[in-house]
Amino acid sequence: MKKLLSLLLAVLMLAGLTAVAEAPAGEGLLIGVVYKQSGNPYFQASVTGFQKAADELGFTFLHDGPDDGSSDGQIRIIENYISQGVDAIAVSANDPEALVSVLQEAKAAGIKVVSWDAAVVAAGRDLDVQPASAKSIGLTQLESIAQSIGYEGQLAIVSATATAPNQNLWISFIEEALNSDPAYANIEYVGTVYGDDEYTKSYDETLGLINLYPDLKGIITPTTAGAPAVAKCVLDEGKSIKVTGLTLASDMAEYIKAGVCDATFLWNPIELGYAASYAAVALVNGDITGAEGETYEVPKLGALTIETSTAVNEAGELVPTDGTISYLNKLNAFTVDTVDEWVNIL
Amino acid sequence: MRTVRRALGPILRWESMLVVLLALICIVFNQRDASQQAAGLSRRDVFNFASIIRGLRPYMLYSFMTLGMMLILAMGEIDISTGASAALSLATLGVVYQGLTNAGMPNVPALILGLACCLLSGGICGALNGWLVTRFKELYSMIITLAMQLFFRGIAYLLLGGGTLTFRNDPVFDSLKKLYNTVAIGSVNVPVMLFWFAAPALVFTVWIHGTVSGRRIFALGTNRACAYFSGVRTDSIQFWMFALCGLMSAVTAIFFTGATSSSIRADAMGGYELYAIAAAVLGGFSTSGGKGSVPGVVLSLVIFGVMKIGLGTLYGFADSMVNLSVGVILIANTLLLGVGRFFPTGWGQGARRLRIKRGAALHPQGE
């Protein structure tokens, strides 16, 4: 009897213990993270976010990106993840279409797919996680440069590659606002050139712009890789051109302090990776399915709502797609006052 | 020593060394896999026969290009424009298909015509290389094909205007993705590409090792002047080999479309020529020409695939680190082939002749 009682007590205690120390939501999960290219500081920062979430949720993750930034390099990495039996794949795609087949195979194998930063088309994903809506990203930069140049003068854009889906969407909103918003009526938009996210090419394209338009007043450069080259070129030429864009703080501190940029912007890639992790874990655990109207909780960012994603059609209008998306809706401004606190983070 | 060497002759082939290398790699990886699992570090057996066969798929994309490249290397030439001519063929496929369907042609014949134009454009790219190489003999094929690489890639950008053409929502065009599927044979998912690759690999084996016209390629690479004065039409062979190499690049492009969900970009297949050269050289084709065998190339393609799968999944090497280790293998291999000069790398007649020649050199009076 005594023995039985002690056994019963022991079982009860054990049950009590497990109830108290509840396992974190991501315990035992394996997530494969794919980014566009290895060696890019932006993606190194986002990996920090995945790490932070992994510490909190208890999952483990693998991360890799092709060294040449190619789609077939990403396909190789994803195929390796599938054979390793990951629970979820979080991917920032080099091409929105190219990864669809392999990601559909992943989904067929029961793997949840979250795209973050650069989306895969709806057929290849369960959910897309983005920092801020394309409209707000585009217009924030436009408003900033307009303030810098006093709402008049020539304006140009130095973008990444001609096919980069993010940049093209932001630019479409900037162009739309320039055409329709009376506040920008005195700004003359001279066009977009492509620096292909390479330092030298971005520098050369900027130099070309400066030579072609001697009265150029402002440049928007919505790409972290191209921005330092653009600002350096403006500084080297000694022109009074203002530059804004999406940039890392560490790359641009010098130019912000030199007065070339009044403010540059970026979401927080750490938070982006962090939120993508929470989305992936919620999908794997079945808390969400990636359908419109669902919400998932991310510490410090609150409840993120899943909505229908949008895309630009051939007529240049924003139309809903069959995929879903959730926005963090947070954009940081780096100014001469705030840039120093971000230098070591971004 | 000589008798030992003669006795071991048939075994001391380069291909045997590759088999040993492959076996060693597999043993090491298998150990790692077992220890990873025992330590609870990996959740499944990632290195077994089924996963290797399935995992070879993305590395088979450049296998067709490698077959073309080895012909060029056998002649002692090099073609570094194959990646770009493949991209140009890919762009041709997309533009022709889009043009024809927009003009009202039904999808199926449009696709067939598009594929024909794709192959044709690859062939033309190669032929252009071949013409330049035979016409301007004072220039190295390296320089000519470097220029053509930039030229072809440029045309591809011109055709596509820097954008992506996508036909994923076109069921006819998207049926190309079946080329990249796998079929279940027993418990193994075998990439369909393996069967597609087997056909040209077999044909090439018989042709370059078993027929007179094939062995002339090696003759040309061993000693061009000697071959010429023996009645081998060196220029004509060179021209057609370059054309054939271009054609194989176009074949690569078709499979690449299948892999990348029917999306067509001008920057596709960048660096594939280097993978192809690496695989052909590890397979026994030296850049100075005259040697090598198709079985060696097939083995080296498998070795590269297994290396990349294993280093990626078992050791967690990043993509860039995997390439680094492949580079190391390549240098080690070149040193072995170059310094050692110990392993005959030919196949059939060629190899036997090579051994006799070496014997003759060691003993000028003959054996």
Chain A positions touching B55 (Cβ under 8 A) are 79-80, 83
At residue A126, the pLDDT reads: 93
Residue B120 has pLDDT above 90, yes or no: yes
Q: How many CA atoms lie within 13 A of B151 on its CB side?
A: 12
Query: The domain B14-24+45-354: what is its CATH number?
Result: 1.10.3470
At residue B16, the pLDDT reads: 86
Using a 10 angstrom Cβ sphere, with 0-12 exposed, 13-18 middle and 19 or more buried, the burial of residue A306 is buried
pLDDT along chain A (346 residues), means of 10: 61 52 77 89 88 93 88 91 92 91 93 92 91 86 92 92 82 91 91 90 92 92 90 90 90 90 88 93 92 89 87 67 84 86 73
Q: Do A38 and B319 touch (CB under 8 A)?
A: yes
Report helix, strand or coil for A343. helix
Q: Which residues 114-133 on chain A approach chain B with CB closer than 8 angstroms?
A: 121, 123-124
- As given in the structure block, the two tokens for residue B65 are 């290009």
Q: What is the mean pLDDT of chain B?
A: 86
Q: Do A95 and B260 touch (CB under 8 A)?
A: yes
Higher pLDDT, B356 or A259: A259
Q: Strands, DSSP E only, in A210-262? A: 216-221, 242-245
Instruction: Identify the band that residue B3 occupies on the pLDDT scale cut at 50, 70 and 90.
Output: low
Taking the Cβ of residue A56 and every Cβ of chain B, the question of whether any pair is shorter than 8 Å is answered with: no
Chain B residue with Cα closest to A168: B163
Report helix, strand or coil for A121. coil
Chain B positions touching A84 (Cβ under 8 A) are 42-44, 46, 313
At residue B355, the pLDDT reads: 46
- Out of B46, B259, B309, the one facing A75 most closely (by C-beta) is B259
Kindly report the length of chain A: 346
Q: Do B261 and A98 touch (CB under 8 A)?
A: yes
Residue B347 has pLDDT above 70, yes or no: no
- Out of B54, B162, B180, the one facing A162 most closely (by C-beta) is B162
Using a 10 angstrom Cβ sphere, with 0-12 exposed, 13-18 middle and 19 or more buried, the burial of residue B338 is exposed
- Out of A64, A99, A162, the one facing B163 most closely (by C-beta) is A162
**What single string gives the DSSP state of each residue in B125-159?**
HHHHHHHHHHH-TTS-HHHHHHHHHHHHHHHHHHH
Q: Which residues 168-207 on chain A approach chain B with CB closer than 8 angstroms?
A: 194
Q: Do B260 and A71 touch (CB under 8 A)?
A: yes
**What single string gives the DSSP state of each residue in A150-214?**
TT-EEEEEEES-TT-HHHHHHHHHHHHHHHH-GGGTTEEEEEEEE-TT-HHHHHHHHHHHHHH-T
Q: Do A100 and B308 touch (CB under 8 A)?
A: no
Shortest distance, CA A51 to any CA of chain B (angstroms)? 16
**DSSP classification of residue A120:** P
Q: Where are the domains of chain A?
A: 30-130+269-311+322-329, 134-266
Q: Do A194 and B162 touch (CB under 8 A)?
A: yes
- pLDDT tens for B265-277 read 988 898 899 889 9
Chain B positions touching A39 (Cβ under 8 A) are 320
Q: Do A67 and B44 touch (CB under 8 A)?
A: no
Distances in Å between the alpha carbon of B221 and those of B71, B77, B291, B350? 10, 8, 8, 12
Kindly report the length of chain B: 367
Q: In Å, how far from its chain's centre is CA A109?
A: 26
At residue A28, the pLDDT reads: 86
Q: Do A68 and B270 touch (CB under 8 A)?
A: yes
Chain B residue with Cα closest to A66: B319
Q: B179 and B254 in contact (C-beta within 8 Å)?
A: yes
- Out of B51, B261, B270, the one facing A97 most closely (by C-beta) is B261
- pLDDT tens for B144-203 read 999 999 999 999 999 998 778 889 888 999 899 899 988 998 888 899 999 999 999 999
Question: How far is it, in rounded angstroms, from Cα B54 to Cα A216?
Answer: 55
Q: Do B163 and A99 touch (CB under 8 A)?
A: no
Q: Strands, DSSP E only, in chain B? A: 165-166, 182-185, 188-191, 263-264
At residue A19, the pLDDT reads: 45
Question: How far is it, in rounded angstroms, from Cα B258 to Cα A156?
Answer: 38
Shortest distance, CA B11 to any CA of chain A (angstroms)? 35
Taking the Cβ of residue A84 and every Cβ of chain B, the question of whether any pair is shorter than 8 Å is answered with: yes
- As given in the structure block, the two tokens for residue A234 are 């403006």
At residue A25, the pLDDT reads: 81
Instruction: Identify the band that residue B9 occupies on the pLDDT scale cut at 50, 70 and 90.
Output: low
Question: How far is it, in rounded angstroms, from Cα B93 to Cα B111?
Answer: 8
Residue B352 has pLDDT above 60, yes or no: no
**DSSP classification of residue B58:** G
Higher pLDDT, A281 or B291: A281
Q: B9 and B355 in contact (C-beta within 8 Å)?
A: yes
Q: Do B319 and A121 touch (CB under 8 A)?
A: no
Distances in Å between the alpha carbon of A8 and those of A18, A19, B56? 16, 17, 55
Q: Do B309 and A163 touch (CB under 8 A)?
A: no
Instruction: Identify the band that residue B349 occupies on the pLDDT scale cut at 50, 70 and 90.
Output: very low
Q: Do B260 and A163 touch (CB under 8 A)?
A: no
Q: Do A163 and B265 touch (CB under 8 A)?
A: yes
At residue B358, the pLDDT reads: 45
Q: Which residues 2-31 on chain A approach chain B with CB closer than 8 angstroms?
A: 30
Question: How far is it, in rounded angstroms, from Cα B32 to Cα B26?
Answer: 10
Residue B333 has pLDDT above 80, yes or no: no
Between chain A and chain B, the number of residue pairs with CB atoms below 8 A apart is: 103
Q: What percent of chain B has pLDDT over 70?
A: 88
Q: Do domains A30-130+269-311+322-329 and A134-266 have the same CATH topology?
A: yes
The candidate with the shortest Cα–Cα distance to A69, out of A47, A50, A42, A89, is: A42
In the CATH hierarchy, which fold is given to the domain comprising A134-266? Answer: Rossmann fold (3.40.50)
At residue A221, the pLDDT reads: 93
Give the architecture-level CATH label for domain A30-130+269-311+322-329: 3-Layer(aba) Sandwich (3.40)
Sign of CA dihedral B137, B142, B145, B151: negative
